Structure 1
Amino acid sequence: MNKVLKQEACLEKIEELRNKMVNAAGQYGMSHPIVLHYSQELDRAHNKMILLEVPNRSTNWQRSFSY
């Protein structure tokens, strides 16, 4: 998978997680554990996207991110 496709996949995942987080917050309130879960997943997706955009970063960081 090339870099552009990986970035597009990350962007799609970020949007999906953002929507889930917003919907859960509307349904359960901002402090509900599921909202926190989606927020943390969203942070991981953002971090992965940043690593894809910056060349020559350590692959150890990339291995620590999972969906």
Structure 2
Amino acid sequence: MEMNRVLNQESCLEKIEELRKKMVTAAEQYGMSHPIVLRYSQELDRAHNKMILLEVSPNWTNTLSY
């Protein structure tokens, strides 16, 4: 179980970094208030929330999506 939690956390960290890069690039290209930037921001929030839940309760893994 511990190994799965670690792998899921690593997956979350990778997703967070990917979304962060996309959001920054989109913000540079379109401006901070563009809908695509806001969408990436929301996805990033969800990924952060999932990471927090994994740290607190590893059993949440199967119930969340990005």
Judge same fold: TM > 0.5, yes or no.
Answer: yes
Residue matched to 2:49: 47
TM-score, scaled to structure 2: 0.85
Residue matched to 1:2: 4
Identity of aligned residues (%): 78
Distance 2:11 2:17 in 1: 10
Structure 1 unpaired stretches of 5+: none
CA positional deviation for 1:55: 2.9
Structure 2 unpaired stretches of 5+: none
CA positional deviation for 1:56: 6.9
Q: What is the CA RMSD across the aligned residues, in angstroms?
A: 1.8
Residue matched to 1:66: 65
Distance 1:9 1:55 in 2: 16
Aligned residue pair count: 63
Higher helix fraction (1 or 2): 2
Residue matched to 1:20: 22
The one-letter code matched in structure 1 to 2:18 is E
TM-score, scaled to structure 1: 0.84
Q: Which runs of 4+ in 1 moved over 3 A?
A: none
